[in-house]
Amino acid sequence: MSAVPSPSLAAKRPRGRPRKTLDERDEGNRRRALLRAAARLFRRQGFDGTSTRDIAAAVGMHSGSPFYHFESKGALLYAVMEEGMRSAIERQAEALAAGGEATDVLRRLIGNHFGTLHGTGRDFIPVMLYESRSLNTRQRNGIAKLQREYEAPWMPVLQALARQGRLRADVHLARLLIFGALNWSVQWFDARKRASLEQVTEAAMRLFIHGEPA
């Protein structure tokens, strides 16, 4: 018969997974902080003009610390774009959940896209638009796949509007023109000087859809 451990010994034996150290518990927070800082700096200074030392300094780390989380500056650039796209896809799914008429759905899609461009975490889109050349082929393919996933829900809405005779252009051209126009707003939109996001959403609707009130 095997010996039964005493209650005192059993109580001291750790159960389940070992507790995480403070550094391990903080790892997720540090990674997110690096992504936010990198996105902001890549947008302001460009990928080539930003060093890992700059990024580390922005979050109070030693210059080599980012390499604990990302194997290279290029991997960090890709992570910024990937994280941003996945977050945008999640927010868009929430905007689509209410359903409704095609016009209402398009208005929510456009409003949500403007929010993605100019709201919290907005730096990743300009980085993706202007720094994709710094990705390798595998990374570019990964981002392209996420972009297709993001844009796919727009097509049924535009097709429905085309059947109603309300879309001002061919469906495929309309999709390209709409995204081109919305994304270009990163060059000029300033909520302190120009219209609100709600106002530019309505302006976009009038630009692309017949029958929208002036």
CA neighbor of 90 nearest in space, from 146, 31, 138, 38: 146
Q: Which fold has domain 77-208?
A: Tetracycline Repressor; domain 2 (1.10.357)
Binning pLDDT at 50, 70 and 90, where does residue 106 land? Answer: very high
For residue range 35-69, list pLDDT tens digits in order. Answer: 999 999 999 999 999 998 999 899 888 877 777 78
Distance CA 93, CA 109 (A): 10
pTM equals 0.79
| pLDDT for the residue 27 | 59
* Domain locations in the chain as residue ranges: 77-208
Distance CA 157, CA 153 (A): 7
Q: Is the pLDDT of residue 16 over 60?
A: no
